[in-house]
Structure 1
């Protein structure tokens, strides 16, 4: 994306993203204490699914993604979230299956201590016209996952934000349509979710819907605003969750958990 969007090239190079990715991995590896996991909130690679030539580039990018992330400390699990570049703006059964072959499930839950995390495929809420059954399956699964089964915090990750600044903002490319947005935000409110982390915007953004915060994090790679390449450090405490975005050159080595 840097090659096509910033350098005005043909999108055939991604060496700059790889260098930034390795810097991010090095920063995570040198943190103390070690992060409980490292999560990429979608668009794991830039190339969309499509023609055979697109798929060839996509396979090469996926291969390089995996090569680089092999350098992540083995004690730091890598969590992958499905984005629109990964399965297409209008995903198909084939594009979803190919994603799952490369990266695993497109939606799932996991626990760290007393915290339960939900990872969703937000493309189903943006455009499920070609995958209505998969969208329905995720909805049924989500309803069971939102039940309180002993978690102290319930946190959600997905790619496309419900909103960028306000829950009442107008529909656009970078958010979820307001009718779907309102329905889903109510479901999360009712379940007790307080934090939802997203990507997609290539800028830092976010806001509150009452006490529910939607956090939009900029990219390790291409920037579309004034932010610099970086990532967000999240600290989970007994009664609250705190977060801060750092440029890659400013990521702290020692994380204060007090």
Structure 2
């Protein structure tokens, strides 16, 4: 099923538009003006027509939708999480320390890996040398170095775990925008969203369905919305009338030409000369 691209609807809100449409069709029999669903047009045909007319339907609630998008974007912007006049300083400080935090994070990740690799190599070589007879004198040294790197590996893993815990606690303060998709919305965004949903349903979806049910010429397979809800004037063009001239007029208006009469001169011999 194809859904037209609506100028007043972002991609992330198209699923919400479809949910509103489906709810309206599911509860259509609770509305007296939509009780005719299923008689001439069924719910699936009406849904197809409404999806093809997405731009027209959503334009009925364009003001509420613009306000909803504006409030949502303000919540998502980085400045929404700042409180007080000291926040720009904190943000600048965070930007300065980000590079240091990034290097520290890389070091925290690489240190256990490198130390663990070194510990494994030294321990394997040390234990292999201890099996030789006679045992080399530096076998014990290699084992000691291996266990030292093993201790560094354990310390690095512990430091990484602590760093991850601190990062999770620090980022938990900015989780409100991230919960928008699955959790509860902030009050202002929720009110703006509900106002848009109500306006879209009452001024867009329901009037469209009502007009489609009452329009006997509505074609469910057509991408053209019903005439009664089409607010754009239909401009028609008709070709000019060209008629071929009739035979009678052509015969009267056409000039006639007659060929001149040519008579041959009389030629004769000298005996025929005039006297």
Whether these two folds match at TM > 0.5 is no
Larger Rg: 2
Q: Which has the higher helix share?
A: 2
Shorter-chain TM-score range: under 0.3
TM-score normalised over the length of structure 2: 0.17
TM-score normalised over the length of structure 1: 0.18
Relative contact order (alpha carbons < 8 A, sep ≥ 6): 1 or 2 greater?
2
